Amino acid sequence: MILTIRKFGDPVLKEKCNRINNLDCNFAGLVKNLADTMYNAPGIGLAASQVGILERLFICDLGDGLQVYVNAKIVATEGEDMNEEGCLSIPNIRVPVKRAKKVKITALNANGKKVTFVAEDLLAHVIQHEVDHLNGVLVLDKTDTENRRRALEELREHVQID
Ligand code: ZN
Protein backbone atom coordinates (compact mmCIF):
# COMPACT_ATOMS: atom_id res chain seq x y z
CA MET A 1 0.00 0.00 0.00
CA ILE A 2 1.35 3.39 -0.97
CA LEU A 3 1.20 5.85 1.92
CA THR A 4 1.09 9.64 1.71
CA ILE A 5 4.50 11.20 2.11
CA ARG A 6 4.28 14.20 4.44
CA LYS A 7 5.67 17.34 2.88
CA PHE A 8 7.73 20.22 4.24
CA GLY A 9 5.56 22.35 6.49
CA ASP A 10 3.85 19.33 8.08
CA PRO A 11 4.65 19.56 11.81
CA VAL A 12 5.08 15.78 12.05
CA LEU A 13 8.42 16.15 10.26
CA LYS A 14 9.77 18.16 13.20
CA GLU A 15 8.86 15.53 15.78
CA LYS A 16 11.32 13.24 17.51
CA CYS A 17 10.48 9.55 16.98
CA ASN A 18 10.13 6.93 19.67
CA ARG A 19 12.19 3.81 20.14
CA ILE A 20 10.54 0.61 18.99
CA ASN A 21 10.34 -1.86 21.85
CA ASN A 22 9.11 -4.90 20.02
CA LEU A 23 8.56 -5.88 16.43
CA ASP A 24 4.92 -6.87 16.67
CA CYS A 25 2.72 -8.52 14.07
CA ASN A 26 2.11 -5.20 12.29
CA PHE A 27 5.80 -4.57 11.72
CA ALA A 28 6.26 -6.55 8.49
CA GLY A 29 3.20 -4.89 6.99
CA LEU A 30 4.48 -1.45 7.91
CA VAL A 31 7.87 -2.17 6.32
CA LYS A 32 6.12 -3.39 3.17
CA ASN A 33 4.03 -0.21 2.97
CA LEU A 34 7.10 1.96 3.52
CA ALA A 35 8.92 0.07 0.76
CA ASP A 36 5.97 0.40 -1.66
CA THR A 37 5.88 4.13 -0.90
CA MET A 38 9.63 4.64 -1.33
CA TYR A 39 9.85 2.70 -4.62
CA ASN A 40 6.78 4.45 -5.97
CA ALA A 41 8.14 7.94 -5.21
CA PRO A 42 10.83 6.92 -6.30
CA GLY A 43 13.46 7.44 -3.64
CA ILE A 44 16.43 5.68 -2.06
CA GLY A 45 15.45 6.19 1.57
CA LEU A 46 12.35 6.77 3.65
CA ALA A 47 11.79 7.25 7.37
CA ALA A 48 8.56 6.22 9.09
CA SER A 49 8.04 9.80 10.30
CA GLN A 50 7.74 10.88 6.65
CA VAL A 51 4.46 8.99 6.50
CA GLY A 52 3.38 10.27 9.91
CA ILE A 53 4.51 7.29 12.01
CA LEU A 54 6.68 8.51 14.86
CA GLU A 55 8.81 5.40 15.32
CA ARG A 56 12.55 4.97 14.95
CA LEU A 57 12.36 3.04 11.70
CA PHE A 58 13.71 3.77 8.26
CA ILE A 59 14.41 1.88 5.08
CA CYS A 60 16.72 2.41 2.14
CA ASP A 61 17.68 0.75 -1.11
CA LEU A 62 20.75 1.90 -3.01
CA GLY A 63 20.06 -0.54 -5.81
CA ASP A 64 21.21 -3.67 -3.99
CA GLY A 65 18.10 -4.59 -2.06
CA LEU A 66 15.93 -3.28 0.72
CA GLN A 67 17.59 -2.48 4.04
CA VAL A 68 15.58 -2.01 7.21
CA TYR A 69 16.87 -0.12 10.25
CA VAL A 70 15.14 -0.13 13.62
CA ASN A 71 16.34 2.09 16.49
CA ALA A 72 19.41 2.98 14.44
CA LYS A 73 22.13 4.84 16.27
CA ILE A 74 25.30 6.37 14.90
CA VAL A 75 27.98 5.48 17.44
CA ALA A 76 31.06 6.86 15.65
CA THR A 77 31.85 9.04 12.66
CA GLU A 78 34.92 9.66 10.54
CA GLY A 79 35.88 12.19 7.90
CA GLU A 80 33.78 14.83 6.23
CA ASP A 81 31.92 15.09 2.95
CA MET A 82 29.82 17.73 1.30
CA ASN A 83 27.08 16.55 -1.00
CA GLU A 84 23.87 17.67 -2.61
CA GLU A 85 20.87 16.04 -1.00
CA GLY A 86 17.24 15.86 -1.85
CA CYS A 87 14.37 14.62 0.29
CA LEU A 88 11.02 13.07 -0.63
CA SER A 89 9.40 15.46 1.85
CA ILE A 90 10.91 18.48 0.08
CA PRO A 91 10.28 17.71 -3.60
CA ASN A 92 12.48 19.20 -6.33
CA ILE A 93 14.88 20.80 -3.87
CA ARG A 94 18.53 19.87 -3.52
CA VAL A 95 20.85 21.54 -1.02
CA PRO A 96 24.45 20.97 0.01
CA VAL A 97 24.78 19.20 3.34
CA LYS A 98 27.93 18.40 5.30
CA ARG A 99 28.08 14.77 6.41
CA ALA A 100 30.56 12.36 7.89
CA LYS A 101 32.22 10.21 5.26
CA LYS A 102 31.99 7.08 7.39
CA VAL A 103 29.62 6.14 10.17
CA LYS A 104 29.54 3.24 12.55
CA ILE A 105 25.99 2.23 13.20
CA THR A 106 24.11 -0.09 15.48
CA ALA A 107 20.52 -1.05 14.75
CA LEU A 108 18.08 -3.91 14.67
CA ASN A 109 17.40 -5.40 11.27
CA ALA A 110 14.03 -6.51 9.92
CA ASN A 111 14.24 -9.70 11.99
CA GLY A 112 14.95 -7.86 15.22
CA LYS A 113 18.58 -8.98 15.21
CA LYS A 114 21.18 -6.49 16.42
CA VAL A 115 23.67 -5.45 13.76
CA THR A 116 26.75 -3.22 13.98
CA PHE A 117 28.68 -2.14 10.92
CA VAL A 118 30.52 0.69 9.22
CA ALA A 119 28.94 2.44 6.23
CA GLU A 120 30.76 4.73 3.82
CA ASP A 121 29.98 7.33 1.19
CA LEU A 122 26.42 7.21 -0.21
CA LEU A 123 25.12 4.66 2.29
CA ALA A 124 26.68 6.67 5.13
CA HIS A 125 25.00 9.82 3.83
CA VAL A 126 21.62 8.16 3.48
CA ILE A 127 21.84 6.74 7.00
CA GLN A 128 22.73 10.16 8.43
CA HIS A 129 19.86 11.77 6.46
CA GLU A 130 17.36 9.20 7.74
CA VAL A 131 18.61 9.31 11.35
CA ASP A 132 18.11 13.08 11.15
CA HIS A 133 14.47 12.44 10.18
CA LEU A 134 14.07 10.32 13.34
CA ASN A 135 15.16 13.39 15.31
CA GLY A 136 12.92 15.82 13.45
CA VAL A 137 15.78 17.32 11.45
CA LEU A 138 15.52 18.08 7.73
CA VAL A 139 18.21 18.91 5.15
CA LEU A 140 17.07 22.54 5.22
CA ASP A 141 18.10 22.63 8.88
CA LYS A 142 21.56 21.36 7.93
CA THR A 143 22.45 23.53 4.96
CA ASP A 144 23.89 27.03 5.08
CA THR A 145 21.78 30.19 5.42
CA GLU A 146 22.04 31.16 1.77
CA ASN A 147 20.98 27.78 0.42
CA ARG A 148 18.20 27.54 2.96
CA ARG A 149 16.90 30.96 1.93
CA ARG A 150 17.02 30.04 -1.76
CA ALA A 151 15.28 26.69 -1.16
CA LEU A 152 12.50 28.28 0.90
CA GLU A 153 11.95 30.84 -1.84
CA GLU A 154 11.66 28.09 -4.42
CA LEU A 155 9.31 26.11 -2.18
CA ARG A 156 7.03 29.11 -1.75
CA GLU A 157 6.86 29.55 -5.52
CA HIS A 158 6.42 26.00 -6.71
CA VAL A 159 5.31 23.61 -4.04
CA GLN A 160 1.79 23.23 -2.87
CA ILE A 161 1.68 22.05 0.69
CA ASP A 162 -1.20 19.63 0.91
ZN1 ZN B 1 14.44 13.01 3.69
The distance in angstroms from the start CA to the end CA of the chain is 20
> Ligand 1: distance of its center to the CA of 21 in Å?
24
Is 51 a domain residue? yes
CA atoms of 130 and 108, how far apart (whole Å): 15
Is 1 a domain residue? no
Is 64 a domain residue? yes
pLDDT tens across 75-124, in order? 999 999 999 999 999 999 999 999 999 999 999 999 999 999 999 999 99
Verify whether residue 80 is a known catalytic residue.
no
Of 15, 78, 80, 130, which is the active-site residue? 130
> Ligand 1: distance of its center to the CA of 13 in Å?
9
pLDDT tens across 14-67, in order? 999 999 998 988 999 999 999 999 999 999 999 999 999 999 999 999 999 999
Which pLDDT band, with edges at 50, 70 and 90, does 156 fall under? confident
- Backbone φ and ψ for 103, nearest 5 degrees, come out as -135, 145
Q: How many CB atoms lie within 10 A of CB 73?
A: 15
How many domains is the chain built from? Answer: 1
> In this structure, what CATH number is given to the domain that contains residue 22?
3.90.45.10
pTM for the model stands at 0.95
Q: How many CB atoms lie within 10 A of CB 160?
A: 6
> Ligand 1: distance of its center to the CA of 87 in Å?
4
